[in-house]
Amino acid sequence: SQQGEEDPQALSIQEGENATMNCSYKTSINNLQWYRQNSGRGLVHLILIRSNEREKHSGRLRVTLDTSKKSSSLLITASRAADTASYFCATDALSGNTPLVFGKGTRLSVIA
């Protein structure tokens, strides 16, 4: 399995601080995606970064990808209580049409 693994499993920060989550994977990929899941809800897509990209921004989100280390990080700047959620990375396979594989997620708590 080339499942991504997020680190840490849980993270608790104060509002206004930055939150960094990491994802490591095992085999070469086409792209890597990050999703957010609020408690009791379905996952929502945040950002997709392609294997030939090193960094991508979307609002307060910054994603980096290091294909040599097979790792990615998600940075949320100036966090808010509403950012409290679980965050998952998802990876695809370099070849074939196999579906994305999701990691187990990082649970982020932002304390007001």
Please tell me the distance from the alpha carbon of residue 15 to that of residue 47, in angstroms, as a whole number. 22
Number of residues that bind other proteins (CB under 8 A): 25
CB neighbours of residue 86 within 10 Å: 20
Closer residue to other proteins (CB): 68 or 97: 97
C-alpha 102: how far from chain center:
10
CB of 18 to other proteins, least distance (A): 24
CB of 15 to other proteins, least distance (A): 27
Q: Does 101 bind other proteins (CB under 8 A)?
A: yes
CB of 61 to other proteins, least distance (A): 15
Looking only at residues 15 through 34 of this chain, which bind other proteins when binding is defined by CB under 8 A? 30-31, 33
Place of tokens 């982020």: 108
CB of 112 to other proteins, least distance (A): 26
Q: Which of 19, 42, 32, 37 is nearest to 94 (CA)?
A: 32
Q: Does 41 bind other proteins (CB under 8 A)?
A: yes
Q: Does 57 bind other proteins (CB under 8 A)?
A: no
